[in-house]
Structure 1
Amino acid sequence: MKRSIATLDLRALQAFVAVCETGSMTAAAKRLGVSQSAVSQAVAALEREQGIDLFDRESRPPRPNLAGRNLLQLAEGLLDHAQAVSSRMSELSMGSALPVRFGCVDSFAATVGPELIRAMSGSARQIRMWSGLTPGLVSQIENRELDAVVCTQPTTDDSRIIEMPLFSEPFLAVVSRRWAESNVSGHADWQHVAREMPLIRYTARSVIGQQVERFVRHLGITSPRQYEFDATDPLLSLVSAQLGFAISTPLCLWQARSYLDEIAVFPLPAGRLARRDFFLLHRQGEWDDFAIRVVALTQHVLEHVIRPSLSRAFPGIPDNAFTHSQNLEELT
């Protein structure tokens, strides 16, 4: 039969060390800020747990015997380690030393993500970033596999997860620049585009694909399903080749910005279905400071890096290409 290991009560061990170092129960009690009887009981409990006497009761005052001296030699390291563990846990409870596990949808990770990492590179906060689709990211934060998530159209039943509106962007009709330039005299608009070309879609398994499909039905576009892609780059490769048009967003266009010289955009009718909303998710009481900083940095990157570049590429892009969290309620 396996012998059970007696556990060490660290408070009792602390009392034992104090008695050894001060030479009496009274002095030990004064050092620890407890009563003499509390010290006496702690030492007695330690001896019972270990099944051995630790003091020579014949001496006055009591001195540690051989077993006591051996324990005293070990105790200093044990107590120092316990104090280090306690301090470390205090730091970790505030999240100050842990890297934040940050998940983002692909379009955010590839555009705003690098700027966030660059902005935080000089701080103590370290980021570990993952990208993925919204359903998977929401599942990961629910299972505590991620600490914070940027996603679109989140759905979670966990009341402890906070959904912070981050920003919103409009859907745009995207066509080949060559096609647009050849149709300028005819005052082409999105309706003309939809009549002339098939729609090149995002796949329905992605949230953006589902959102675009709802909007397409709302607009009355009846283009058959022919080309579908998970990512924006292959989608725009077909658009630039004049094989069809797409419905995408400013952030997705910036993600695939190698195609900016080859495409043109047309605004689409405004409305609730006409925009894609982004949210920042994190658990209540956890990573609050990180969440606040992500909101501020995201707004800075969108307004000072991405929007000016897109406006230069597409002078007709809407002024509200990115509407930030404080203004989202006005659009709903």
Structure 2
Amino acid sequence: MMTTTETTEMAKSSPNPPANPALREERALPDLHALQTFLTVCEAGSMVLAAQRLGVSQSAVSQVIRSLEGEYGVQLFDRDVRPARPTRAGTILLEMADRLLAEARGVAEELRKSVRLDHAQLRLGCVDSFAATLGPALVRGLSRSARQLQLWSGLTPGLNAQLLGRELDLAICTEVPVADVKLAQRRLFSEHWVAVFPKGSAIAPMAEARELRHRVGGLPLIRYTQRSVIGQQVERFLRHIGVDAPRRFEFDATDPLLSLVAAGLGWAVTSPLCLWQSRAWVEEIDLVPLPPSRLGQRDFFLIYRGAEWSDIADDIARITCAVLERELVPAMRAMLPALPDDAIAPADIQTNPT
């Protein structure tokens, strides 16, 4: 019979079972390294040969086997014969370990294959003018590599916030968010601002954008609202060329803006892509090219987490460039003959930029 002192010492020396059930579950998981050692012993026919294959000492192999026997409460090898042979329990474990290790080896390759070939729930955000013009062709081009594709449109600030919050995987915006070392960015293309006037305004071409302030006369300026990035960018451009017009009409979208220009109620500064998005109005307006200037363009950027989406980013850049050059720009020039040749300039295609 144990004394009180002996019982106390055993309690101190015995490991306490973890209180958290999740920890008990984790402890019960198979040790793949130990199973690999056991499998090597069975294949080699002895612990000596297994140790040589594994590059460890015989005692290390023997310790792993005894640890497995202690964990499962069974004897895995009959040590009364030479060389030692698996017991019935050892034979059963051998079959189970072989299947388990084969599945474990396939995890890495299966994961790489899934990421490469099956981009489940690819979530792409685009500013409205991009989504409405280049969006369909981009979806068509990505459908071969993305089984589930969601295309969201909106304003740049909202898209950037959704990207940072991981609600989006990639975003096509006209401004980049606050610097984040985890985010990569690449410029897809640029477009120059153009002025639009009511049909028949007969505005002569300009050598410098600053001449615009003398050509508008008393015609009111119709603006994009300042809560949109395009509104802020156009406003910076107008200040840069010295246009200071009263604030009367402001809109979030191009359709109502062009409808007022078509109705003869004012003039506006917009972009070729916005014109194509709202091309129902182009026959009722006059397009006036604006000479290039420091703030006379807007850029489209693809923003994404480089460590996760570099391959898809390459696809998006290639598809966008191809659609612009082969489809969109030729169609725009056919409908808008006054559009300059350099009104839209695709960026040079690069893969995995740093």
> TM-score surpassing 0.5?
yes
Aligned position for 1:244:
266
User: Which position in structure 1 is the counterpart of 2:6?
Assistant: none
Identical-pair percentage: 48
Q: What residue number does 2:345 align with?
A: 323
- Among 160, 165, 172, the alignment partner of 1:150 is 172
1:160 to 1:123, Cα distance in 2 relative to 1, 3 A: closer
Structure exhibiting the larger radius of gyration computed from Cα positions:
2
Question: Is contact 1:56-1:63 (8 Å) kept?
Answer: yes
1:77 and 2:99 are equivalent in the alignment: yes
Say whether the 8 Å CA contact 1:11–1:42 is kept in structure 2. Answer: no
Structure-2 separation of matches of 1:166 and 1:290: 14
CA drift of 1:287 comes to 3.2
Judge conservation of contact 1:199–1:244 (CA < 8 Å) in 2: yes
Q: Distance in 2 between matches of 1:89 and 1:27?
A: 34
Q: Which residue of 2 aligns with 1:106?
A: 128
Q: Which of 291, 295, 303 is equivalent to 2:317? A: 295
CA distance in 2, matches of 1:306, 1:249: 14
> Aligned pairs, how many?
320
2:255 alignment partner in structure 1: 233
Counterpart of 1:264 in structure 2 is: 286
Deviation by residue 1:98-145 (Cα, 9 ceiling, x = unmatched): 354432222112222221222333457875433232223333434444
Q: TM-score, normalised by structure 1?
A: 0.81
Q: What amino acid is aligned across from residue 279 of structure 1 in structure 2? A: F
| Distance of 2:259 and 2:80 partners within structure 1 | 92
Secondary structure at the aligned position of 1:301 is classed as helix
1:135 pairs with 2:157: yes
Conserved 8 A contact 1:8-1:46: no
TM superposition shift of 1:82 = 1.4
Moved more, 98-107 or 207-216: 98-107
- 2:109 corresponds, among 63, 87, 99, to 87
Normalising by the residue count of structure 2, what TM-score does the alignment of the two structures yield?
Answer: 0.76
Letter in 1 for 2:312: F
Q: Which residue of structure 2 lines up, in the alignment, with residue 121 of structure 1?
A: 143
Matched to 1:257, the amino acid is R
Provide the residue aligned with 2:326 in structure 1: 304
Q: Does 1:200 align with 2:222?
A: yes
CA offsets 1:64-102 (integer angstroms, 9 cap, x no match): 44544443443343223212322223446x745435443
Distance 1:266 1:2, change over 3 A: closer
Mapped to 1, the partners of 2:116 and 2:144 lie a distance apart of 17
- Residue pair 2:129, 2:274 contacting (<8 A) in 1 also: yes
Change over 3 Å in CA distance of 1:308–1:58 after alignment to 2: same
> 3-state SS of the aligned residue for 2:180?
coil
Q: Which residue of 2 aligns with 1:218?
A: 240
Moved more, 126-135 or 229-238: 126-135
Change (3 A) 1:48 1:304: same
Alignment deviations for residues 154-194 of structure 1 (CA, whole Å, 9 cap, x no partner): 13221343332221111111233xxx22x33x759854763
Q: 3-state SS of the aligned residue for 1:253? A: helix
